[in-house]
Structure 1
Amino acid sequence: MTLRGKLFGVGVGPGDPELMTLKAARVLATAPVTAFFSKRGKTGHARSIANDFLNPKTNEIRLHYPFTTEMDLKDPRYQTEMIRFYDVCAEQLESQLLDGKDVAVLCEGDPFFYGSFMYIFDRLRSSFVVEVIPGVTGMSACWTRAMQPITHGDDVLVVLPATLPEEALVERLIGADAAVFMKVGRNLAKIRSALIRSGLLDRAFCIEQGSMPNERISRMIDKTDDDAGYFTIVLVPGRQRQR
């Protein structure tokens, strides 16, 4: 009887390959199968980060998203198609695991923080041994690169997907000492409006491609355009009290 392979969710960090953990590098150096998510026709951010750490003989499995920003999240087809996509991905990896091969799934940032790996984890965790290797999150890389300590003492930090309605963003910002906006993309104008309404615009920073070669750091009050790429995070540092 063939022993089942082990599934690894490998956090590779936000962009700078040197921020990958030693454990992640060790697992990737020997993994017989490496899987990663990407937009069709693209290499994929996690794959690019891990490039120099992969087992030269690894069998690479590309998991192509059916779409990224092409369909509105509110479209009922979005959930249906994404569920089907993750079902197919899990089936692909399951066949490798049943064949006795360990599978490492590359995850930008941390696997359990807004990561696609968690949907594979949900589908396979009851049938296979799973090990998750944490990674440096994009938000922690961004506040470090911006030299902005984010919290101290009893500060409350709120993490907000910018895809929420503006009213929900404003509501969540009230009472928070510090904030991080994820999934900024096309939502920068909405974020700016929410920050203005919350009286937080002058404390906010916009970090684009944090820890990557084309990194840009600016204060939101100085950023007058609404252009923001996929790898953009907006921060509102706390630490407003004396210590």
Structure 2
Amino acid sequence: MTIGTIHGVGLGPGAQDLMSVRADRLVRGARHIAFFRKAGKPGQARRIVDGMLRADAIEYAMEYPVTTEIPISDPRYNDWLSTFYAECTRHLAALAHAGEDVVVLCEGDPFFYGSFMHLHSRLSDIAPVCVVPGITGMSGAWTASDTPITWGEDVLTVLTATLPEDELTRRIRDTDALVVMKIGRHLAKLRRALVAAGREESAWLVEYAAMPDQRVTRLADATDIAPYFAIVLIHGQGRRP
């Protein structure tokens, strides 16, 4: 029997018309659709493809056992997620070995801070896996700011706000252009790091980039509360002709 292929499909930053032609074709044609979501929530990836799925599509919601309920330093965090990814891997591999193709919906790009990476590392030796790249959320964010993120030889640094405050400060100070992701409840800490690095006045907060409720605000004018889909930017000021 022919083994099916598991497709990790990047959906881009949040708008259907920013998906690639290949991603659109795979999503619309898939009989088996899998996606990540927080328990009790519809899931952003599933929301992006609303209205695109075929009538007989079989959906498999992969619900995280933990997100922000406990700190990532808690030993249970990795244990629970490891078990979760192993269960998802078994389910998807079983479909593939039954000859079924599966499309796994991925926000942004599957290989950029995406949950699909953890499936790919487990599946690649036991079933065919194909990855479709997507526009990243950070690209959607700097496009929303209507300003280039880098000029000339600017060095761009991408950070997650989950880093320790002193590490954030050091890296913010040492770069020309900046993208900070995974902000959430870490915004106040990130703001302190930006202030310590002397760069808060150059920082912008982009919320829901490429989505209907997109909002771009100077960080100095923002509150200390940010939604899950939020990115902080500092634009480079490098050489220009």
For Structure 1 versus Structure 2, the TM-score category normalised by the shorter chain is over 0.9
Q: Aligned partners of 1:198, 1:128: CA distance in 2, in Å?
A: 47
Residue identity in the other structure for 2:6: L
The counterpart of 2:224, out of the listed 202, 223, 226, is 226
CA drift at 1:242? 4.2
- Residue 182 of structure 1 corresponds to 181
Matched, 1:91 2:90: yes
Residue identity in the other structure for 1:49: I
* Equivalent residue pairs, number: 241
Residue identity in the other structure for 1:227: I
Return 5+ residue gaps in structure 2 as ranges: none
Residue identity in the other structure for 1:230: Y
- Residue 13 of structure 2 corresponds to 14
Contact 1:184 1:232 in 2 (8 A): yes
- Could you give the per-residue CA deviations for residues 104-130 of structure 1, whole angstroms, max 9, x where no partner exists? 000000000000001110001012221
CA drift at 1:51? 1.6
Identity %, equivalent residues? 46
Contact 2:173 2:198 in 1 (8 A): no
CA drift at 1:13? 1.0
- Could you give the per-residue CA deviations for residues 20-60 of structure 1, whole angstroms, max 9, x where no partner exists? 11110001111121100001111100010012322322211
Q: Aligned partners of 1:203, 1:233: CA distance in 2, in Å?
A: 14
Return 5+ residue gaps in structure 1 as ranges: none
SS at match of 1:52: coil
Q: TM-score of the superposition, structure 1-length normalised?
A: 0.96
Matched, 1:208 2:212: no
Residue identity in the other structure for 2:27: L
Residue identity in the other structure for 1:19: L
Q: TM-score of the superposition, structure 2-length normalised?
A: 0.97
- Residue 118 of structure 2 corresponds to 119
Q: Aligned partners of 2:36, 2:202: CA distance in 1, in Å?
A: 35
146-155 vs 104-113, which moves further? 146-155
Residue identity in the other structure for 2:178: A
- Could you give the per-residue CA deviations for residues 172-199 of structure 1, whole angstroms, max 9, x where no partner exists? 1232110101000001111111111111
Contact 2:10 2:134 in 1 (8 A): yes
Runs of 4 or more, structure 1, over 4 Å off, are none
Say what the alpha-carbon RMSD is for the aligned residues: 1.0
Contact 2:162 2:183 in 1 (8 A): yes
Contact 1:149 1:239 in 2 (8 A): no
SS at match of 1:221: helix
- Equivalent positions of 1:1-243 (< 5 A) are 2-223=1-222, 225-243=223-241
Contact 2:160 2:183 in 1 (8 A): yes
